[in-house]
Amino acid sequence: MRGFGRLLYSEIKRLRHTSLLYLHIAVPAAGTAAFLWYYSLAGWESRSEVLVYFQTVACVWPFFCGMICGLSAEMEEALGYQNFFLLPGRRFHALLAKWIVLLGLGMLAGLAALMGFSLVYRCFPDGNAYGLWICLSSAALIFLGQVTVYLIHLALSFAAGKGVSICFGIAGTLLSFLFLTGLGDGKWMFFPWAWGGRFSTYLLLYMAEKDRGLKLSETIWKEAGVCFAIAICIILLAFVWFYKYEGRRSQEE
């Protein structure tokens, strides 16, 4: 357990002075500021504004994730995979540590973007359409939807490089927006990039219509079960694959 803690500390220390940390600060700040400025002029219905913002964050996150994971894997490759191949018996722990650290940074960036927006938006006319607890719950659902996506992009980045990870992130973002529409009905559960946006939308729509007698469909719980089963399979496959991974450079040679 002490060795795993050292790996976590090593990951945090190496990321501290890289562009990854600054991206997790600059991107949420810029996105939140842009939407707040636009909403100050747009005059939409308040619940629609919150819903669109949360959906946008959920759908753009896969692209951000693809870029972050690609840069992280590229940095690891430049350092010669020190934590992965130079420490005997630590390959599983090294991947887990990197995954956890990137998830932690993503969670902080997501909270900054979503809760920062929610706090400032409450100063707008009718800006308290959703309570902070509902916004926090929606933010949690969006983050949980990205947990498996981070691992997918880490595997893609290590296997094929940063460019492939970013391309999959772009495709994931575009399809996530598409799967928020009726075209995604019955299919979105098999597409991990769409999970955060769908579950967050379900929650916000339910809270907006709960007073009118809207009830959660039993289908939602079945869809959640499918997502959970797929997530477990992806995690197991990713770690089994990485156990046999020998590094991209050696594969190319």
CB 69 within 8 A of CB 102: yes
pLDDT of residue 83: 64
Model confidence pLDDT, tens digit, residues 191-244: 999 999 999 999 888 887 765 656 667 788 899 999 999 999 999 999 888 877
pLDDT of residue 216: 67
CA dist., res. 179 & res. 58, Å (int): 12
| Residue ranges covered by each domain of the chain | 2-247
pLDDT of residue 129: 82
pLDDT of residue 11: 79
Q: Of 161, 3, 158, which is closest to residue 81 (Cα–Cα)? A: 158
What are the per-10-residue average pLDDT scores of the chain (253 residues)? 73 80 92 94 88 96 94 81 61 84 94 94 87 92 95 92 94 95 90 94 83 69 93 93 68 42
CA dist., res. 72 & res. 94, Å (int): 13
3-state percent helix, strand, coil for the chain, nearest multiple of 5: 85, 0, 15
pLDDT of residue 90: 66
pLDDT of residue 220: 86
